[in-house]
Amino acid sequence: MNHDDYNSNLYESTKYLLDNVKIKPKIGIICGTGLGFLTDEIQEQIIFPYQSIPHFPVSTTKGHLGNLIFGYIAGVPVMCLQGRFHFFEGYSPQECVLPIRMMKLLGITHVLISNSAGALNPKFQIGNIMLIKDHINMLGIAGFNPLCGPNLDSLGPRFPCMNEAYCTQLIKYARKVAEEENFSNNICEGVYGCVSGPNYETAAEVKMLRMVGIDAVGMSTAHEVLTAKHCNMTVFAFSIITNICISNYDDKKHPDHEVINSIAETKKHALRKLVTKIVQRMDESR
């Protein structure tokens, strides 16, 4: 898609939402694989199936329900993507981040992003919630960066900084919430690595990704964060650790999307609490 078409699609999709929903969201949320239940926290829901929004992509991945939901979490107006778009589905990085840009145009200042990821850090366990402190964008390093191409000057600068891409104050606050709510033994912190997928990693790739400093690997998030920072939004993100990446050739276990899709549900209580508290905190800090 050329730059002008992309731009006009972005503004038309946003206008459709502005014309059809009265809620003015302050916080944007993206639910990763198996995390669609986070929308249970949203009151007074207005639901737009993705296919009902002009120019909006559709989710093709199991575990991504494909609804855009407006409503309130603890009284704070939010817009939530119940499912995202991945590069491996055939979407360009720019198409994957269209919703982030729409969030900015709708007046959103803070985004909460979630995903499922495989553990490379040997200390991590399945079901841990990894607070993302930074990322290594393998997809971006390979040239697939949503900020490539003509810059959208109205949204942000040509050369955006990525210092504190993930808000350190919110990470600290998430740890406090976990202490208070008795799930701190499920919390870890680390660097997320974004690869294209859709295949899971070979043993040699697992070793390489670990060596460069990645704690957990997945197929999303980094390009969304780049785009959010480009347009000056504050980001908090976490991974639910759904599997342990395998680097031993004798190990017969293998990652399975069905299993991966089911793990977040086992930490539903903690995750819902965390999301509600972070949304409240984001609102207070605006």
Ligand X SMILES: O=P(O)(O)O[C@@H]1C[C@H](O)[C@@H](CO)O1
Tell me how far, at minimum, the Cβ of 261 lies from ligand X, in Å.
7
Cβ distance to ligand GUN smaller for residue 136 or 245 = 245
Cβ-based neighbour number of residue 265 at 10 Å: 13
Per-residue contact string for residues 188-207; x = within reach of ligand GUN by CB under 6 A = -------x-x--xx------
Report residue 207 as tokens: 């070793």
Cβ burial, residue 217 (10 Å; 0-12/13-18/19+): buried
Q: Which residues make up the interface to ligand X (CB under 6 A)?
A: 32-33, 61, 84, 86, 115-116, 197, 218-220, 257, 260
b/e burial code for range 91-122 (CB count within 10 A of at least 16 → b): bbbbbbbbbbbbbbbbebbbbbbbbbbbbbbe
Does position 264 interact with ligand GUN (CB under 6 A)? The reply is no
Q: What is the DSSP letter of 97?
A: T
Q: Pick from ligand X, ligand GUN, none: which does 36 bind, CB < 5 to 8 A by kind?
A: none
How far, in Å, CA of 137 to CA of 207, rounded?
Answer: 17
Tell me how far, at minimum, the Cβ of 198 lies from ligand X, in Å.
7
Whether omega before 99 lies within 30 degrees of 0, making that bond cis, reads no
Residues 210-249 that bind ligand GUN (CB under 6 A): 217-219, 242-243, 245
Tell me how far, at minimum, the Cβ of 178 lies from ligand GUN, in Å.
22
Q: Pick from ligand GUN, ligand X, none: which does 195 bind, CB < 5 to 8 A by kind?
A: ligand GUN
Q: Pick from ligand GUN, ligand X, none: which does 140 bind, CB < 5 to 8 A by kind?
A: none
Strand segments, DSSP code E, in the chain are 27-30, 43-49, 67-73, 76-82, 110-119, 129-137, 187-194, 216-218, 234-244
Cβ distance to ligand GUN smaller for residue 92 or 243 = 243
Size, binding site for ligand GUN by CB under 6 A: 15
Cβ distance to ligand GUN smaller for residue 1 or 212 = 212
Handedness of CA 32, 235, 11, 148 (dihedral sign): negative
Q: Pick from ligand X, ligand GUN, none: which does 217 bind, CB < 5 to 8 A by kind?
A: ligand GUN
How far, in Å, CA of 85 to CA of 99, rounded?
Answer: 9
Binding residues for ligand GUN (CB under 6 A): 116-118, 195, 197, 200-201, 217-219, 242-243, 245, 255, 260
